[in-house]
Amino acid sequence: MTMHALREGTHSAVRAPSRCSPPESSFGMPRRHARFGWGLVLGAILGAILGSLPGLASADAAAPAGGSAATKARRLRVTIATLPSPGVSEDVQVAIQRELGEGLRKNSHLDMKDLDVRLAEFAQEMPFDQVELARTTLQKGREALFKMEIDSAILQLADAVDQLIAVLPYIKKQELADAMMAVAVAQFQKGKTQAMQQALRRLFVWRPTYTADPTQVPPQMTEAVEAAHHEVSQLARADLQVSSEPSGAQVFVDGDYIGVAPISVPGLAVGEHYVTLRKLGYKRGLRVAQVKANSGASVVGKLMRSEKYLLVEQAVVKVAPQMGKSPIDSVVDNLRETLFLDQTLFVQLRKQAGEDVELSAHLYDLRSRQLISKQVSTVRVQAGVPQAGVLASVAEELYRGIDYDAGLRAPVDAPPPPPVEARPLYKRWWFWTAIGVIAAGTATAVVIAATQRSASCPSDHVCTGSIGLALSY
């Protein structure tokens, strides 16, 4: 026999099934493997039961994600709540609250937002989907303009402008201005000079201080941009009358705060202007005003009531008589849980002689209901404008010496219920259930092992299997 034939014969012998292979179990595997499989099953059952016991969970599972305890401290979420202040006009209340809020925003440890913004977020009144759609449309238009797909760019950018106007109370006005400039650029690239000039005039009427981004506007448009600026500066001026239902809404014209409705806005260039109205307890409103040379314009903002404001109103009214107490009533938990606040600055105003207003400010930590600090100051308000620097100083003094990372004292509530004494292990139902399962599994494995026999082995073969059974006669 050649070496090649020997290799072929060896390979054939390896591939041929042995007549002495151990008999298979009903699962289609060798019986010794089946017994091993039963052991795995029983081990898995026991492991699952023991793993579910309290205190036996893996330490890795209990470890916090991220590993490091030294994480970056987040900013504290803060807002201002104005308490009932009879005798103080609504425009003075708004002016003081706005300036005090600006002072708190300068504190890098704080995430300061107005109460109506917090409420709109909680009530899901912010049109996030519409805002995202408008921004996506604007981005697609810019991409088409970059690829010099001008017709598509003009359509996309014009749609983006309309969509951004619809959500203008909830976005930065710069976004709308940039979109309008992009329309002018697309018209310039198309060679439509008249349409480009019209787009520029529309922009500069409501945004006369807009500065074009040189990376977005080709240098060839510089002359046209300057000409549009000059043309708008020569337009006739007229007044805009703004009122609201209910009255007392904050009025913003073209993104600038004007005052409290009803109010007259003088000297606006004829053309399109955007009026945004805000009032605590109501959804934001938008009106587009077309100011004309002879008659000006008049708009009325009818605001819709916020469905979630009742919770905030009840909390503010109930805590008003408790200012200065520590801890404060648990009703403030509504503010903490619904608006996700850490702290609230409660402000109450009292009319004094002449133009003076007394300001009482109490800063509470809502997590512990504890009074952190308080300030009482006299503010002079002339023509609806608070005295410069006073409220910024109040905002700074309220947080002077405050440890932002210090632990908080727990609120004084009812004592927790007494702990329930744990029963011994052997008195729990699942303990004896586990013992029964293990015992039954072990008995089954012994019976299977005792009743199984290996196949007989011919005299000219050497067989493997259970040694004890192979040697029996």
DSSP string of 419-438, one letter each residue:
PPPPPPGGGSHHHHHHHHHH
pLDDT at 8: 41
pLDDT at 457: 54
Question: Between these two residues, 53 and 286, which has the higher pLDDT value?
Answer: 286
Give the whole-angstrom CA distance, residue 390 versus residue 398: 13
Question: Between these two residues, 111 and 63, which has the higher pLDDT value?
Answer: 111
Q: Tell whether the model's pLDDT for residue 396 goes beyond 80.
A: yes
Q: Please list, in sequence order, all residues whose beta carbon lies within 8 angstroms of the beta carbon of residue 60, skipping any fewer than 6 positions away.
A: none
pLDDT at 359: 95
What's the pLDDT tens digit per position in 228-247? 999 999 999 999 999 999 99
Q: Please list, in sequence order, all residues whose beta carbon lies within 8 angstroms of the beta carbon of residue 20, skipping any fewer than 6 positions away.
A: 455, 457, 458, 461, 463, 464
Q: Tell whether the model's pLDDT for residue 395 goes beyond 90.
A: yes
- CA dihedral (118, 119, 124, 128) positive or negative: negative
Weakest-pLDDT range from 44-53, 184-193, 314-323, 439-448: 44-53
Beta strands across the sheet bearing 297-302: 263-269, 237-245, 297-302
What's the pLDDT tens digit per position in 446-458? 666 666 554 455 5
Parallel/antiparallel/unpaired status of strands 250-253 and 237-245: unpaired
pLDDT at 438: 77
Q: Tell whether the model's pLDDT for residue 1 goes beyond 70.
A: no
What's the pLDDT tens digit per position in 202-232? 999 999 999 988 888 999 999 999 999 999 9
pLDDT at 304: 93
Question: Between these two residues, 472 and 392, which has the higher pLDDT value?
Answer: 392
Q: Please list, in sequence order, all residues whose beta carbon lies within 8 angstroms of the beta carbon of residue 447, skipping any fewer than 6 positions away.
A: none
Q: What are the backbone angles phi and psi of residue 24, rounded to the nearest 5°?
A: -90, 155
Q: Give residue 45's pLDDT band: very low, low, confident or very high (50, 70, 90).
A: low
Q: Give residue 66's pLDDT band: very low, low, confident or very high (50, 70, 90).
A: very low
C-alpha count within 13 angstroms, C-beta hemisphere, residue 29: 8
Beta strands across the sheet bearing 271-278: 256-260, 250-253, 271-278, 285-291
- Cβ proximity of 311 and 118 under 8 Å: no
Give the three-class secondary structure for 259.
strand
pLDDT at 92: 92
Give the whole-angstrom CA distance, residue 408 versus residue 155: 56
Amino acid at 140: K
Beta strands in 150-291 (DSSP E): 237-245, 250-253, 256-260, 263-269, 271-278, 285-291
Q: Give residue 384's pLDDT band: very low, low, confident or very high (50, 70, 90).
A: confident
Weakest-pLDDT range from 60-64, 145-149, 295-299: 60-64
- Cβ proximity of 344 and 101 under 8 Å: no
Question: Between these two residues, 460 and 339, which has the higher pLDDT value?
Answer: 339
Other C-beta atoms closer than 10 Å to the C-beta of 95 total: 23
Question: Between these two residues, 7 and 433, which has the higher pLDDT value?
Answer: 433
What's the pLDDT tens digit per position in 157-203? 999 999 999 999 999 999 999 999 999 999 999 999 999 999 999 99
**Average pLDDT, whole number, for the chain?**
80
3-state DSSP percent of the chain in helix, strand and coil, to 5: 45, 20, 35
